[in-house]
Amino acid sequence: MLGVNVLFGCLVVIVVGALFGTWKATRQQMDLTTNFWFGHQGYEYVDLGRFWQLFLLVGLFLWLGLMLRALWPALRQPGEQRHLLVLFVIASAAIASFYGAGLMWGRQTHLAIAEYWRWWVVHLWVEGFFEVFATVVIAFLFTRMGLLRTAMATSAVLFSCTVFLFGGIIGTFHHLYFTGTPTPILALGATFSALEVVPLVLIGFEAYENLTLTRVRPWVQAYKWPIYFFVAVAFWNLVGAGLFGFLINPPIALYYMQGLNTTPVHGHTALFGVYGMLGLGLTLFCLKGLASRNRWRTGPLAFAFWAINIGLALMVLLSLLPVGLMQTWASVEHGLWYARSAEFLQTNLMNVLRWLRVVGDTIFAVGSAGIGLVCRRAKDWLVTRPAPGGIVPSRRHSGTTCGSWRMRLPRHGFS
């Protein structure tokens, strides 16, 4: 508990400190050296100051230590899922370690070199290691819940690791259009980048197919909404990372689209659609485990689930995507400078499209508030009737480690 509280405190300090530093930097109230360390580095997606980057790296290793402490009892137990846990540990260690790529440039490093390492963080770290991490987590949970065959989970995870290990660095190169990367390397980068989403999509859709076949079982109803959030991960991985990602990945498209609103289309749907939904699903799964013998009142959860997903879709379809496509047309016809210019972006039509995003944002915010209400009043949403399935402590271990819980599901239990 102390480690979790310390980690949360570090996160609050990093977020507040980085936001305050960015605000001061954009108001030009820092000298250049202070700005680099505590303000805004000027690099998109890794813009926080170097001090906050170092602080975040320390926090990631603290998170890794907490993960290993919880996973160690389960790793010592033999079983068919042990290799999935080993891959999970490797992916977790990679998440903590490879953020260090963001420290490979200095205040006066050449732009081409800084861009190379920046995309190691933006693409290789986020879209590579996190992709493997998400695949392993969902594969492990679905196999334990009986929604996924172990052979299918193993194949998907190994395929994910193979694509990443053989093509992860190559897949990064499709971002480096303006730093002298040769055209064949850009094409290979786009191809390997697109392949990274395939394993998680396969896992999600097989799990959903099995879910429809086993919906009559009472334990499925008990874990319905955590499972739905995990299935949403696969859906948004296909749409956000796959469809919208590949929309901007091919070299000829990237030449005109890089830096336009087509990038936030991919970023919003892939980042929150995959990792946000994964985080919410894991949170609900843990909350259900804390009250495994009680049945949830799932009305607020159903509302929150659909509001978040519909809101995310509307903010993209009503605003970001139309603006991005119109910018792409302007970039092809007149040039990238015109597509990003105030002359083009401040037209009446563009202002209307930007304000239309309020519709999706509002629905999304209401759904997020619903999730917060469920988490805040978790005990209040429970009634005393016993649930058909749940998680109870195992007698073989004590504490709250992975090895100390087993799921009370027919034929599918944590051991």
* Weakest-pLDDT range from 33-37, 369-373, 399-403: 399-403
- DSSP E strand stretches across 75-215: none
Amino acid 203: pLDDT: 59
pLDDT, tens digit, for every residue of 181-204? 777 777 777 777 666 666 656 656
pLDDT tops 80 at residue 142: no
Average pLDDT, the chain: 78
Note the pLDDT of residue 361. 94
Q: Which residues contact 207 (CB under 8 A, 6 or more apart)?
A: 138, 142, 147, 148, 227, 230, 231, 234
Q: Which residue has the higher pLDDT, 393 or 53?
A: 53
Share above pLDDT 90 across residues of the chain, in percent, rounded to a whole number: 23
- What are the distances in angstroms from CA 259 to CA 13, 99, 341? 30, 23, 12
Write the pLDDT tens digit of every residue in 90-135. 888 888 888 888 899 888 898 888 888 888 888 778 777 777 777 7
Reference 206, options 225, 239, 231; nearest CA is 231
pLDDT at 210 over 60: no
pLDDT, residue 172, reads: 74
Tens-digit pLDDT profile for residues 348-358: 999 999 999 99
DSSP three-state, residue 129:
helix
In this structure, what are the phi and psi dihedrals at residue 405, rounded to the nearest 5 degrees? -130, 145
Three-state secondary-structure class, residue 79 = coil
| More confidently predicted of 270 and 355 | 355
Using DSSP's 3-state secondary structure scheme, residue 7 falls into helix
Residue 385: the pLDDT is: 47
Kindly state the tokens that stand for 364: 């999304």
Distance, CA of 375 to CA of 378 (rounded, Å) = 5
In angstroms, what CA-CA distances link 107 with 21, 110, 128? Answer: 16, 9, 27
| Rounded CA separation 190/338 (Å) | 26
Residue 378's pLDDT is 66
Class of domain 78-290: mainly alpha
* H or E element at residue 405: strand 405-407
User: For the ranges 97-111, 155-169, 387-401, which has the lowest average pLDDT?
Assistant: 387-401
